[in-house]
Chain A
Amino acid sequence: MAIIERPTDTPAVVSPDAAPAVATPATSYGVFRRPVETTGWKSWLFTIDHKKLGIMYGVVAMAFFVIGGIEALLIRLQLAGPDGTVLSADAYNQMFTMHATTMVFLFVMPMAAAFANYMVPLQIGARDVAFPRINAFGFWTFLFGGLFLNTSWILGGAADGGWFMYAPNSSVAFSPTNGVDFWALGLQITGIASLTGAINLIVTVINMRAPGMSLMKVPIFTWMIMVVQFLLLFAIPVITVALFLLMFQRSFDATFFSVEAGADPLLWQHLFWIFGHPEVYIIVLPAFGIVSEVLPVFSKKPLFGYPLVVFSGAAIGFVGWGVWAHHMFASGLGPISVAVFSVATMAIAIPTGVKIINWVMTMWGGKLKFTVPMLYAVGVIVQFTIGGLSGVTHSVAPSDTQQTDTYYIVAHFHYVIFGGAVLGLFSGLYYWWPKMFGKMLNERMGRWNFWLTIIGMNLTFGPMHVLGLQGQPRRMYRWTENRAGEGFFNIGFWNLIASIGSFVLALGVLMFFVNIYVSHRKGTQKAPLDPWDARSLEWITTSPPKEHNFDRTPTVGHLDEFFHRKYEDRGEGDHHDYHQVATAEEIVAEEEAKGDSHIHLPSPSYWPILLSLALPIMAYGVIYNIWLIAGGAALALLSMYGWGMEPHTAPDDDYDPPAAGTELEVAAHG
């Protein structure tokens, strides 16, 4: 049985040459004490446990999903009939800007971060991420950035320039409220969260894998997350530059994007889309990873062509850097640029197609079991393919010139983002819920959830293809009956359908929350250890996992390690004949029995949340009062000193009651 020891900060009795350069501070005093709470609100506020942080990422992302959803419903209400009066033009502009910003930066990305945080260390057999405190810092920074962004609603109005905030709409003359300032600074803050998270997760995957797990034995979800983190690592600084320039333009009177001052508005567009296109893959690849985990489990077959899926994921990530200007075909780039980017864009359909084929081939001939996670995964294949096909039509520049800034574009990216990313994330929620919370989500409710969502999304976004091809521009806050057209192509009809669909979709999402309630009522069964007959490493531990994840660090011999521990191949040669030799319960019990007796986890810390708190303070300072910047910077500096100088773990006598253990051991440092 594994015991988490009371960590001790006393350096071990080691020979002088064994650990020469390590000098663990022998005392921790005053503000440098580390918190030790393991229950209650403090255990969440100061936690550095990747699982708690993952759950908090998920909860906050879901809250923003609801906010973004309400914004979407208001938009659809406004457009349901001619001459909508629900929103003013100004409020409408804020609504669509914040809807997109919220959904992209505050829902899909953090939701993926939730799974990445929770699952990546479990999937590679690690006890935590490489830098637990930076992980906590990332979460709080994201949360405070998101809150900061949304406080603009009550402080004079939110950003209203569209989510890609083109000049001149982003300048003070056209957007006189502080909304765009909040937007620029808020995204800057969440960008810091993403960047630190990216570094952390890449180091984790490269350096913290269980023994035996070579890179080609890393579970596919973790692989896709790693590709995403590389994209974030290199894309975030580009948007950082753009946002800084925008901040200097708005708050300090620079003219980087003012045509009247001789500037080139394409500068913003290039910077934004050099970031923005990798961002598209940042959004969708985690969902691809989830789908690639779920399909094999419910097809009872290994993932078809695992190396191909890995390499096509990496290829998507790489080619994704060379196609950004296809967002700018209508901006007068010149024929050569347009031609080059057009061809590059078509090329990216190839690795994406490879993935789709691999998924279909995984299901081919499998013993399919249509549970809710499987339904969502299949939903991704179908819906994302539709979105992908309309995407190919955009890569043809002349056709794109027709479609730019119409609802056809809106239809396309909602099929990709909702049909690809969001459905994938829901698949992950259903699949990993028993792992994370120890309870199964109700399958019957889940089916309602799934079918309402699918019907709702197709009703909402399907008609937008027609609307767009009929010429309805996006971001138009009202339409009039006498220009709506006739018969089948009457945009009034299709707008109404889309609005009805959006409420069906909302009902579908509501079902998810109802399902959580239903599944966690008193008297519901605890989930079995291995409800899905899963294949990867995160299932070789209890549900939910203990604080230290694994009693014994698993040794890995296969890609689908858990599957190979459960089943033995008695076939000859190329013929496989798997027989179950162990149950999940037996495997976990064995791991417990052989558990490590000394496991050290670093203690929680005050500093990540305090350091994060300094960022919005400085951001408010940029908008309102320069002295606030100084205050925030002081807090940041103080927190960094605290961070840098706090001991690795809390000393023994901070615990209650004091630990009795006398075992001395050097805690791991890195």
Chain B
Amino acid sequence: MTVTDTDQHHDTHEGESHGLSDMGYVKIAVFLAVVTAIEVALSYTQDQLGAAFLPLLLILMGIKFFCVILYFMHLKFDSKLFGLMFYIGMFLAIGCYGVFLLSMHFFSS
């Protein structure tokens, strides 16, 4: 937790040093929409996909998740400390609830 990005932070009011350009955001949004469309399409072809269906869907979900977190929420450009706060919560949630569901035999049924 060292001092980070102080310099970068000083002039964030001056415009677009902070993250992508508007066009960049639009591109990300189009990408997200496409991924969502693929997800929906996959859900209609799950019988053909078989065992690959679930991991595929989860990977696409993860891609969307991190696109929003990293670009729309600026985590990629912001101080690591902000990310730390969020990721601790995220990993505790995945860890604790994962173990909880595991102990309830959720994944084996």
Tell me the A residues contacting B by CB distance below 8 Å: 20-21, 206, 215, 230, 233-234, 238, 264, 266-267, 270, 274, 321-322, 324-325, 333-334, 337
Rounded to whole angstroms, the CA-CA distance of A519 and B95 in the bound complex is 51
A215 touches B1 (CB 8 A): yes
**At the interface, is chain A mostly helix, strand, loop or mixed?**
helix
A337 touches B13 (CB 8 A): no
Task: Choose among A20, A206, A234, A325 the residue that contacts B103 (Cβ–Cβ < 8 A).
Answer: A325
**At the interface, is chain B mostly helix, strand, loop or mixed?**
helix
Answer whether residue B59 sits at the interface, using C-beta atoms and an 8 A cutoff.
no
In the complex, how many angstroms separate the beta carbon of B106 from the nearest chain A beta carbon?
10
Indicate with 1 or 0, residue by residue over B75-109, a CB within 8 angstroms of chain A CB atoms: 00000010000001100100110011001100000
Indicate with 1 or 0, residue by residue over B25-65, a CB within 8 angstroms of chain A CB atoms: 00000000000000000000000000000000000000000
Which residues on the A side are within 8 Å of B13 (C-beta)?
20-21
Task: Choose among A21, A234, A270 the residue that contacts B100 (Cβ–Cβ < 8 A).
Answer: A270
Rounded to whole angstroms, the CA-CA distance of A234 and B84 in the bound complex is 13
A234 touches B88 (CB 8 A): yes
Given A20-B13, A206-B1, A234-B88; A274-B104 close (CB under 8 Å): no
Q: Which residue of A lies closest to B3 (CB)?
A: A214
Rounded to whole angstroms, the CA-CA distance of A206 and B80 in the bound complex is 13
Total number of B residues with any Cβ neighbor in A under 8 Å: 12
Task: Choose among A20, A21, A264, A274 the residue that contacts B96 (Cβ–Cβ < 8 A).
Answer: A274
Which residues on the B side are within 8 Å of A264 (C-beta)?
104
Which residues on the B side are within 8 Å of A324 (C-beta)?
96
Which residues on the A side are within 8 Å of B1 (C-beta)?
206, 215
Given A234-B92, A321-B96; A266-B104 close (CB under 8 Å): yes
Which residues on the B side are within 8 Å of A20 (C-beta)?
13
Q: Closest 7 CB pairs between A and B? A: A337-B103, A270-B100, A274-B96, A234-B92, A21-B13, A234-B89, A20-B13
A321 touches B95 (CB 8 A): yes
Which residues on the B side are within 8 Å of A270 (C-beta)?
100, 103-104
Which residues on the B side are within 8 Å of A234 (C-beta)?
88-89, 92
Rounded to whole angstroms, the CA-CA distance of A321 and B99 in the bound complex is 11
In the complex, how many angstroms separate the beta carbon of B10 from the nearest chain A beta carbon?
12
- A-B interface pairs (CB < 8 A), number: 29
B96 touches A333 (CB 8 A): no
Which residues on the A side are within 8 Å of B81 (C-beta)?
206
Rounded to whole angstroms, the CA-CA distance of A215 and B1 in the bound complex is 8
B103 touches A321 (CB 8 A): no
A333 touches B103 (CB 8 A): yes
Q: Which residue of A lies closest to B97 (CB)?
A: A274
Rounded to whole angstroms, the CA-CA distance of A20 and B13 in the bound complex is 8
Given A20-B13, A234-B89; A274-B103 close (CB under 8 Å): no
Rounded to whole angstroms, the CA-CA distance of A21 and B11 in the bound complex is 12
Rounded to whole angstroms, the CA-CA distance of A325 and B102 in the bound complex is 12
Please name 13 pairs of A and B residues whose Cβ atoms are closer than 8 Å in the assembled complex, sorted by A.
A20-B13, A21-B13, A215-B1, A233-B89, A234-B89, A266-B104, A267-B104, A270-B100, A274-B100, A322-B95, A324-B96, A333-B103, A334-B103
Which residues on the B side are within 8 Å of A233 (C-beta)?
89
In the complex, how many angstroms separate the beta carbon of A132 from the nearest chain B beta carbon?
21
Rounded to whole angstroms, the CA-CA distance of A127 and B92 in the bound complex is 33
Which residues on the A side are within 8 Å of B99 (C-beta)?
322
In the complex, how many angstroms separate the beta carbon of B53 from the nearest chain A beta carbon?
27
Q: Which residue of B lies closest to A269 (CB)?
A: B100
In the complex, how many angstroms separate the beta carbon of A343 from the nearest chain B beta carbon?
14
In the complex, how many angstroms separate the beta carbon of B9 from the nearest chain A beta carbon?
13
Rounded to whole angstroms, the CA-CA distance of A325 and B104 in the bound complex is 12
In the complex, how many angstroms separate the beta carbon of A31 from the nearest chain B beta carbon?
32
Which residues on the A side are within 8 Å of B103 (C-beta)?
270, 325, 333-334, 337
Which residues on the B side are within 8 Å of A325 (C-beta)?
103
Rounded to whole angstroms, the CA-CA distance of A22 and B62 in the bound complex is 38
Which residues on the A side are within 8 Å of B104 (C-beta)?
264, 266-267, 270
Rounded to whole angstroms, the CA-CA distance of A400 and B104 in the bound complex is 21
CB under 8 Å from chain A, chain B span 1-21? 1, 13
In the complex, how many angstroms separate the beta carbon of A486 from the nearest chain B beta carbon?
42
Which residues on the B side are within 8 Å of A267 (C-beta)?
104
Rounded to whole angstroms, the CA-CA distance of A333 and B99 in the bound complex is 12
Rounded to whole angstroms, the CA-CA distance of A264 and B92 in the bound complex is 23
Rounded to whole angstroms, the CA-CA distance of A386 and B75 in the bound complex is 46
Which residues on the B side are within 8 Å of A274 (C-beta)?
96, 100
Rounded to whole angstroms, the CA-CA distance of A218 and B30 in the bound complex is 47
Which residues on the A side are within 8 Å of B89 (C-beta)?
233-234
Rounded to whole angstroms, the CA-CA distance of A337 and B100 in the bound complex is 10
Q: Which residue of B lies closest to A270 (CB)?
A: B100
Rounded to whole angstroms, the CA-CA distance of A234 and B89 in the bound complex is 6
Q: Which residue of A lies closest to B100 (CB)?
A: A270
- Give 13 A-B pairs besides A20-B13, A234-B92 with Cβ atoms closer than 8 angstroms: A21-B13, A215-B1, A233-B89, A266-B104, A267-B104, A270-B100, A270-B104, A321-B92, A321-B95, A321-B96, A324-B96, A325-B103, A334-B103
In the complex, how many angstroms separate the beta carbon of A399 from the nearest chain B beta carbon?
21
Rounded to whole angstroms, the CA-CA distance of A234 and B103 in the bound complex is 21
Rounded to whole angstroms, the CA-CA distance of A20 and B14 in the bound complex is 10
In the complex, how many angstroms separate the beta carbon of B96 from the nearest chain A beta carbon?
5
Rounded to whole angstroms, the CA-CA distance of A321 and B104 in the bound complex is 18
Rounded to whole angstroms, the CA-CA distance of A333 and B13 in the bound complex is 55
Rounded to whole angstroms, the CA-CA distance of A266 and B106 in the bound complex is 13
Which residues on the B side are within 8 Å of A337 (C-beta)?
103
Rounded to whole angstroms, the CA-CA distance of A274 and B104 in the bound complex is 14
Q: Which residue of B lies closest to A215 (CB)?
A: B1
Q: Which residue of B lies closest to A271 (CB)?
A: B100
Rounded to whole angstroms, the CA-CA distance of A134 and B71 in the bound complex is 30
Rounded to whole angstroms, the CA-CA distance of A21 and B12 in the bound complex is 11
Which residues on the B side are within 8 Å of A322 (C-beta)?
95, 99
In the complex, how many angstroms separate the beta carbon of A272 from the nearest chain B beta carbon?
11
Q: Which residue of A lies closest to B92 (CB)?
A: A234
Rounded to whole angstroms, the CA-CA distance of A206 and B96 in the bound complex is 26
Q: Which residue of A lies closest to B101 (CB)?
A: A270
Rounded to whole angstroms, the CA-CA distance of A568 and B81 in the bound complex is 37
Which residues on the A side are within 8 Å of B92 (C-beta)?
234, 321
Q: Which residue of B lies closest to A334 (CB)?
A: B103
Rounded to whole angstroms, the CA-CA distance of A267 and B106 in the bound complex is 12
Q: Which residue of A lies closest to B12 (CB)?
A: A21
Rounded to whole angstroms, the CA-CA distance of A234 and B86 in the bound complex is 10
Q: Which residue of A lies closest to B88 (CB)?
A: A234
Rounded to whole angstroms, the CA-CA distance of A572 and B88 in the bound complex is 45
Which residues on the B side are within 8 Å of A238 (C-beta)?
96
Q: Which residue of B lies closest to A214 (CB)?
A: B2
Which residues on the A side are within 8 Å of B88 (C-beta)?
230, 234
Q: Which residue of A lies closest to B81 (CB)?
A: A206
Rounded to whole angstroms, the CA-CA distance of A270 and B100 in the bound complex is 7
Rounded to whole angstroms, the CA-CA distance of A20 and B95 in the bound complex is 44
